[in-house]
Chain A
């Protein structure tokens, strides 16, 4: 197996094992999606109206839970030094970690979302749009998150600052993602919003490995 897939497989394994982040993110997402209808009440039209936005914000926050450990775990136990000296360039290291994070949180949250959409009385067409928007948009969460995680990796309480850095940067994903669901509810074409979301995601995934690698390099020297 190539070094890239070796690192990817290890990070997924760590996320899936006990104490890993995958189960935590899914539970958090499911709990938020269950609590909001309890708080808002049984107005089905209102629930459908807010559903897209609530599920999008829930998914972003759930993915955020494990983001601060993206590089920090390896930094604290010395693994990051060893990974940096391996044949794998740091840019690809960042990409592998990002992809592992997306597969263990973003992709899993996307798969769970149609089930949780039932709690918000989302019609099938809107549920499909929600599913597509999460599928297209959650890679951006992992990618932008990786930049934040690399900036805060040597800070002891970095997890507290991380949301302040990345949540504002993720607002386009939430706006276009939840917007696409609203458009479908209003029986309007959601293709434009999904297209912009995909463009945002592609840009973030392409650029963030370089930013994250530069920041990791800086932190290894510090």
Chain B
């Protein structure tokens, strides 16, 4: 289990443009960090950097756990639950098929309770092409739950969701932090977790 994620003087460059530099923060288990900033400030790039898709132009990212610390991107990736801009769903597959696929791929567990939790139990046998944007987002949240990863990276978690969906996200995030998980979310809206925020 991760005890904290530490960024030391991170810098990110896309092309020949520096998005940010000298960025340091520390998030402990059970805490959330909101990443705020104007469009194009580098919120998504920071999340992709933490996920290991991008490598930092300078500085390092360290994950601490009971066994010590590591700055290996590949190792860090295996701890990450990812909710990106896109929902990663196939229009031809049904809701239940998608969830079973991701659960098996992540060696997680799946049961009908997860679909009920995100309010999609009645859509279980519906192909994803018939889902609305908000329902797709809810399915992506269900995937995040079955992946059972301690470090959540959320990119605009409230996007496309109605009021009850947004309340659901807030509830799931509070639950995850309560269980000792870590959340880093790029957002324009308050997370409502008494969390710290980072301005890019």
Cβ 8 A contact of A81, one of B53, B78, B104 = B53
CB-nearest residue of chain B relative to A82? B88
Residue contact A85 to B55, C-beta cutoff 8 Å: no
Q: How many whole Å from A94's CB to the nearest CB in chain B? A: 15
Please classify how large the interface on chain A is, using the bins under 10, 10 to 19, 20 to 34, 35 or more: 20 to 34
Cβ 8 A contact of B92, one of A3, A6, A19 = A19
Q: How many whole Å from B108's CB to the nearest CB in chain A? A: 10
Chain B residues whose C-beta falls within 8 Å of the C-beta of A18 in the assembled complex: 92
Chain A residues whose C-beta falls within 8 Å of the C-beta of B106 in the assembled complex: 3, 86-87
Residue contact A85 to B90, C-beta cutoff 8 Å: no
CB-nearest residue of chain B relative to A5? B104
Residue contact B87 to A78, C-beta cutoff 8 Å: yes
Chain A residues whose C-beta falls within 8 Å of the C-beta of B130 in the assembled complex: none
Is B66 engaged at the interface, CB distance under 8 Å to the other chain? no
Residue contact B89 to A77, C-beta cutoff 8 Å: yes
Interface residues of B in 50-71 (CB under 8 A from A): 51, 53-55
Is A83 engaged at the interface, CB distance under 8 Å to the other chain? yes
CA distance A18 to B85 in the complex (A): 26
* Interface majority SS (helix, strand, loop, mixed), chain A: helix
Is B82 engaged at the interface, CB distance under 8 Å to the other chain? yes
Is B80 engaged at the interface, CB distance under 8 Å to the other chain? yes
Residue contact B101 to A10, C-beta cutoff 8 Å: yes
Do A78 and B86 contact each other (CB < 8 Å), given the known contacts A84-B53, A85-B77?
yes
CA distance A220 to B73 in the complex (A): 14
Residue contact A77 to B86, C-beta cutoff 8 Å: yes
Interface residues of B in 13-51 (CB under 8 A from A): 48, 51
CB-nearest residue of chain B relative to A219? B53
Interface size on B, residues (CB 8 A): 26
CB-nearest residue of chain A relative to B87? A78
Residue contact A84 to B77, C-beta cutoff 8 Å: yes
Q: Mark B72-84, 1 if CB is under 8 A from A, else 0.
A: 0000011010101
Is A45 engaged at the interface, CB distance under 8 Å to the other chain? no
Residue contact A1 to B104, C-beta cutoff 8 Å: yes
Q: How many whole Å from B132's CB to the nearest CB in chain A? A: 16
Interface residues of A in 178-222 (CB under 8 A from B): 220-221
Q: How many whole Å from B79's CB to the nearest CB in chain A? A: 9
Chain A residues whose C-beta falls within 8 Å of the C-beta of B101 in the assembled complex: 6, 10
Chain B residues whose C-beta falls within 8 Å of the C-beta of A82 in the assembled complex: 82, 84, 88, 102, 143
Residue contact B104 to A3, C-beta cutoff 8 Å: yes
Is A107 engaged at the interface, CB distance under 8 Å to the other chain? no
Is A40 engaged at the interface, CB distance under 8 Å to the other chain? no
Cβ 8 A contact of A3, one of B48, B53, B77, B105 = B105
CA distance A147 to B150 in the complex (A): 33
Is B161 engaged at the interface, CB distance under 8 Å to the other chain? no
* Beyond known contacts A10-B101, A82-B102, A87-B105: 10 more, CB 8 A cutoff: A3-B105, A6-B105, A13-B97, A17-B93, A77-B86, A81-B84, A84-B53, A85-B51, A87-B107, A221-B53
